[in-house]
Amino acid sequence: MQTVHETLPYSINVGGDLLSLEVPIVMGILNATPDSFYQHHEGAEAIRLRTRQIIEEGATIVDVGACSTRPGFVPPDEMEEMRRLREALKVVREESPKAIVSVDTFRADVAKMCVDEFGVQMVNDISEGNLDKEMFKTIAELGVPYVLTHNPSNPYRSGESEESEKFLSRFMQDMGNKVEKLHELGVCDVILDPGFGFGKTLEENYILMQNLEVLHELHLPLLVGVSHKSMIYKLLGTTPDEAQNGSTVLHTVALQKGAHILRAHEVREAKECIKICQMLKNSK
């Protein structure tokens, strides 16, 4: 029988307060975009209602993004991304002034704007710093927690999966190097996102999930974002809209392997996964 992995008692500095990750938490997704692959919210009222839902269902963090990262996406230019975020963050702050807010962006100037103008407390970068070479330096200057997402700019292979051991070795080397660079710049609060769906074959996504506990060797809090992703609906031959059940299954597996943060569309269901897995953990 699979047992629940012991979650290390990490905490992160969020705006001067320590946020404990001893019990896993949920990061609720708010897509302020017209073209996200699943769920998007345009206009002040839609954003207000989504913010309220995320908070009422029990999320600890609201993750606001204005640039779709679906497969084959064409990003808006920087000014348009900033415009969307200014509109969205104004509403989020009005609706829930005390919420912990993360911005989902790969652009350093966008991250800086969100922190400076709206007090955003965390930056979630899906590019591991590869799409904007100023990102690591900017994060160090801003002094906010940083979600480092594995997303190699040059995929290791083209269309074919690597064997498990080689893939994991490359992953650990890549992430270890990036973490070292961040620490050298003085970035203390780094959260590791394995980057499910980014630069990986279907098989590699499942290799990574099966071996998720290995990532604890990097001594970082672990964020898992699998909600409604292609690793679910492509495997099952369905659509993003039909991937909630698969999302719940993988959330449960991730928690059993020691995930600290679930980035999810369905907050209530993710919270229920955490509650059940905590009960299993404490029923020894």
Calculate mean pLDDT across residues 258-275: 97
- pLDDT of 67 above 80: yes
What does the mean pLDDT of the chain come to?
A: 90
**For residue 197, what are the CA distances in angstroms to 172, 188, 209?**
17, 26, 11
Predicted pLDDT of residue 79: 95
Structure tokens at 81: 């991304």
Averaged over 64-74, what is the pLDDT? 76
Homologous superfamily (CATH) of 23-281 is Dihydropteroate synthase-like (3.20.20.20)
Angle of the 202-210 helix axis to the 244-256 helix axis, nearest 10: 40
- Spell out the domain ranges in the chain: 23-281
Confidence of residue 8 (pLDDT cuts 50, 70, 90): low
Identify the band that residue 6 occupies on the pLDDT scale cut at 50, 70 and 90: low
Span 158-174, pLDDT tens digits: 455 667 888 899 999 99
How confident is the model over 95-125, as pLDDT tens digits? 999 999 999 999 999 999 999 999 999 999 9
Query: How many angstroms separate the CA atoms of 223 and 228, rounded?
Result: 16
